[in-house]
Structure 1
Amino acid sequence: MPWTVDLSPVDAALCAQDPDLPGLGAVLNAAPLAKTLGLGELRHSYLKYKPGTNCVAGLVPRDGSLGAWAAMTYPPVRWPDIRSRPKWNKKAQKAVYFDDAFTVFVPLALERRLPNARKLSAEKSRAELLHSLGLSHHTLKILRYKPGRRIVLRADGPKGSRAVLKLHARQADFDRAVAGAVYAETMGGPAVIATSPTDLAIATAWTQGHVLSPLSEPRDFVLAGAMLARHHAAGDPKNLPGLSAPKPHRTVRAISNLQPSLKARAQYLAERLPTLVADGMVAIHGDFSADQVVRETFGTVILDWDRAACGPAARDLGSALARLDFDEIGGPLTEDARRALIEGYAAVRPLPKGESIIAHRAHALFALAVEAFRDRRPDWDRHLGGVLDRVEQLCQTSQMPKAPSALPSLSSALDPEHVHAALGARPVEVALARLKPGRRALVRYDMPDGNVLLGKVRAKGIDLYAPRIQAKLRSAGLDGSDGVGVPPVAGTADSLALWLQQVVPGRSLGDMLDDPNCDCLNAMRGTGRALARLHLTPAQTERRWTHADELAVLEKALLEVGYKDILSLAKARLARLPPAPEVGLHRDFYFDQVLVGPDTVWLVDLDLYAQGDAAIDLGNFLAHLDELALRRGNDAGHFDALEDAFLSGYRLSAPLPDPRRIGSFRWISLARHIAIATRFPERRHTISAIGTLCRKKLSDGT
């Protein structure tokens, strides 16, 4: 069958240098070629190239259905044997041949080296496989397919995604995957649903949430680093295999095959890669990167422990940093993600030596040199050169990002055995929910009696103020009985330097703002009423927060970023405010501090509770709405309807302060976000808009 493909210049050059594989271009562009055959919309999932020998591509339907194909091309001398294989020609589903290109497309039903995957193509054998894994009546979607090696699928049931299913070609790979999955489960990872040694198949529980990418927010990388550190601190490596040594000579060969002109440089770099030192041996992931991390509502989960091993902690950190380096070449900047990952790790346990992390990072990045070719990036040649440039830079540096000190008790607070000793019961599950490196953390505990607790850890020791205030507020009437409350305090654990509160039923108001199906107006009215109830409750502390305190925080923030003119406007605005009655303030009140339940609005995180001007809480809440609108590319009035609902809810229970008074603290609070935005890449585009708005509003008195 005649064939033509549109080759990029770099692919055309590669094909020209390998005359023994005249069909190489067909496999490099197998997806568009398959479409002309009527095989559907396919995407590349795998590519393996041996110059002069063969090239194999794995192709997966874009909708994830089970119609996967492998495209393979061979030298002309082997073609008669390939063309006459009986199993590819006598079955109901046959291979498709391109004789002019010495290339064959083989359906999943005819897989040679991954025979168990053939069961997926027939309804009866697929049902038997699913039954053996406890997944009867589930449907399957292909996630990844490596012909002759492995296929990964998602099993969906009546209630949504249920499991990840992996079928392996080799016994050794299956055994290692099972060992890694069992280890991960003991560390709070996905449960192992079932294994089938006959089919070399393993099913593990599906993890809901979002997978990290270079575009994820830095705080997600902080939590990922902390979770990795927790594994390193608490994992037991004694039953895990040893770590295989890097093989830079293979990378040199692969680079030479693709770009002969780079052979000398690749060899030069391979010989100058830093020496790897086997220090700090722990249980490691073995292939750690951002796309192995899933952020859930209440925790962070690390997936795919197929290469779990006993090795140096620096290996996992170096692997993750290298992948971010790789993603940055021709892609988004990842400096903040790299720094956040290191900060999160250092908040739980001391970092390995900087030179050790850099060494592993350099080796891992060098191993990724030809990954852009395998991913079928059109500019894979430039990307390959960019990887070598960065490897050379790493070989010449010994600098690592500075990280804050670890939270001394966080590692123990994440260890079920330490928690058992402190609380008298071993939690069923432990998850790190929030982390501010070097400062504080929030840990979720699912207890065996069905209770769910949140523990708060601080770097400077256990916080006795917040639980005392929370208990007093509940005694004063904020116990949820009339639709407004603060969560019950569940005690303290001195040995873990944390205090605990019960989890209450409700959804974060911040999450609701992202859901078009939520009744946000009613939730906002309930939030306004809840804040009014807090302000009407007699103050339960002698601690005070004055206008001068508010101004001091703003001054520190704006002087760091050079916005002295806004600071001068804020000082003048506050100087004109007359005194006001003081109430019990939340002092950090915004939508993420509110949980909206079926019958109750809960106020959380009262660590800063103090007496002060009610307009401070009201202004702070409105400023956060303004910032969110600007961050999403809208104007500051985008949430006017929500603002009106919030203020009307407050007004139904308590008189509102003068609007100009609320406005004063609103724009002062928003001005603080200028400094905050400089620390988050995804917020930096708002700096100019915030500055302009604050100047206008602080000047005109609104």
Structure 2
Amino acid sequence: MKSAEALSLGRARARLARSAPSPDSSLPILENFRTTAAAAGWFRRKALDRSAFHPEFLEEVEILRYRPARRCTLRLRFGGPADRCVYVKVCRPGRAERIARDLESLRALGPWPDLRVPPVLALVPEEGIVILGELAGAGLDERLAEVADPGREVVEAARAIARLHSLPLSCARTWTAADEMAVLRTRRPFLHGRVDLAREGVEEVYRRIAVGAALLDALPRAPLHRDLHPQQILLDGSSGGLVDFDEMAGGPAEIDLGNLLAHLDLYAVYLPAGAARIEEAARGLVAAYERRRALHLPALMIARAASLIRLACLYAAAPGLADLTPPLVTRAERLLAPAELS
């Protein structure tokens, strides 16, 4: 084995060992992707297009996202004549088919000059696997870090998101205010254990979100990404690519925008030196989106605050990141002030 190949295999094993405990009884097929050798063997055993995947040239397997007992997203890098990456999603039964169906229904409405979505390369439903192609471009998070004035980047991102929300696509799932509140209800206890947060203050934020969430159910439905954050938006200078449609559902566009803006708030908290530029980018994103589609701004504030609290809960017990929680809650409180919602 060449040293470069050994290094790639070592990196893949290390990443998988760190990220995916073995075994996952709900996702047993994940064992087939624990090493490059195992993954290459899986491709050889399947009746897939060998010219598309070239298992003999598989160089690297990397876990990008893993939710135990639910799903795992891996990036596989092929060298040789393929020289590309593919994305393998390992899911519970039925979910892979839904992801493939949603993406194929979405792509059937295109192409578009301002939006790109990944192609479905293969579906292995009996194993809960869908394989997706790669999209070109750098993540919005990378561009925000690299560019002094990201005005063009936020316009490119806003155009792609507005295009998605404008499509005449009926989603199999819907997402409502009740769903938003259910997520917060299960995570709220993470904030109650924080000595730097007053319990009554947390409860007041939750109460205001619950009262305002009714605004969301009164709004028109659109196809939602449902997990939109800067790393999911790939920019190539002319159009925005959106990836990871695992949670796609129908609902008010304000939920997608609120989640994206809350993640920009997170970046501003984490990178205080760049906070002013990130906050300006957030305002530019909303303005660019509104030039294409109308937004209900009070509902957007509610959705953004809900996402901020969700992020605050997520980081409340995260090693080395728990200090992010209080400023995220503070930002949610500011959004929910009566003057902001009027």
Q: TM-score, normalised by structure 1?
A: 0.42
Tell me the equivalent position of 1:442: 74
Quote the Cα distance in structure 2 between the aligned partners of 1:405 and 1:441: 17
1:661 to 299, 302, 310: 299
Aligned-pair CA distance for 1:345 = 4.6
The CA distance in 1 between the partners of 2:91 and 2:317, in whole Å, is: 22
* Cα drift, residue 692 of structure 1: 2.2
Q: Which has the higher contact order (CA 8 A, sep 6+)?
A: 2
Assess, with a 3 A threshold, how the Cα gap between structure 1 residues 345 and 465 changes in structure 2: closer, same or farther: closer
What do residues 434-464 of structure 1 show as CA deviations (whole Å, max 9, x unaligned)?
Answer: 1325232323242654243211112557611
Output the amino acid matched with 2:164: L
**Aligned residue in 2 for 1:386:** none
Of 410, 415, 418, which residue of structure 1 is paired with 2:42?
Answer: 418
Query: What is the CA–CA distance in structure 1 between the aligned matches of 2:331 and 2:9, rounded to whole Å?
Result: 46
1:576 & 1:453 partners in 2: Cα distance? Answer: 40
Question: In the alignment, is the contact (CA less than 8 A) between 2:156 and 2:238 conserved in 1?
Answer: no
Counterparts in 2 of 1:578 and 1:495: CA distance versus 1, 3 Å = closer
Matched with 1:541 is 171
Q: Are residue 647 (structure 1) and residue 286 (structure 2) matched?
A: yes
The AA in structure 2 aligned to 1:682 is G
Q: Using the alignment, how far apart are the partners of 1:497 and 1:543 within structure 2?
A: 19
CA drift of 1:566 comes to: 2.0
CA contact (8 A) 2:305 2:332 kept: yes
Structure 1 residues 483 and 694, CA, compared in 2 at 3 Å: closer, same or farther? Answer: closer
Q: Give the superposed CA RMSD.
A: 2.8
What residue number does 1:554 align with? 184
Match for residue 176 of structure 1?
Answer: none
Aligned residues of 1:473 and 1:540 also touching (Cα < 8 A)? no
What is aligned with 2:135?
Answer: 504
Pick the structure with more helix per residue: 2
Cα–Cα, structure 1 residues 573 and 475, in superposed 2: closer, same or farther, change >3 Å?
A: same
User: In structure 1, what is the equivalent of residue 8 of structure 2?
Assistant: 188
Measure, in 2, the Cα distance between the counterparts of 1:345 and 1:550. Answer: 28
Alpha-carbon distance in structure 1 between the residues aligned to 2:67 and 2:107:
31
8 Å contact from structure 2 (residues 93, 125) kept in 1: no
Q: Distance in 2 between matches of 1:634 and 1:690?
A: 17
Match of 1:673 among 307, 311, 320: 311
CA contact (8 A) 1:535 1:614 kept: yes
Alpha carbons 1:525, 1:647 under 8 Å: kept: no
Q: Which amino acid aligns with 2:310?
A: R
SS of 1:513's partner is helix
The secondary structure found in structure 2 opposite 1:490 is: strand
Change (3 A) 1:597 1:636: closer
Distance 1:186 1:540, change over 3 A: farther
1:84 corresponds to: none
Hey, what's the Cα distance between the residues in 2 that align with 1:571 and 1:670?
14
| Alpha-carbon distance, 1:669 to partner | 0.9
TM-score by length of 2: 0.83
Q: 1:649 to 1:697 in 2, by over 3 A?
A: closer
Structure 1 gap ranges (5+): 1-180, 191-206, 208-222, 230-340, 351-403
**Structure 2: where are the runs of 5+ without partners?**
193-201
Selected match of 2:328 from 681, 690, 699:
690
Q: How does 1:140-155 map to 2 (within 5 A)?
A: none
Which residue is equivalent to 2:268?
629
Cα offset, 1:432, TM superposition: 1.0
Give the 3-state SS of the residue equivalent to 1:639 in structure 2: helix
Structure 2 residue identity aligned to 1:426: P
**Count of residue pairs brought into register by the alignment:** 318
Within the candidate set 210, 220, 223, 1:581 is matched to: 220
Q: Which residue of 2 aligns with 1:369?
A: none
Counterpart of 1:488 in structure 2: which amino acid?
A: P
Instruction: Report the residue type matching 2:250 in the other structure.
Output: Q
Most deviating of 529-538 and 672-681: 672-681
Counterpart of 1:619 in 2: which secondary structure?
Answer: helix
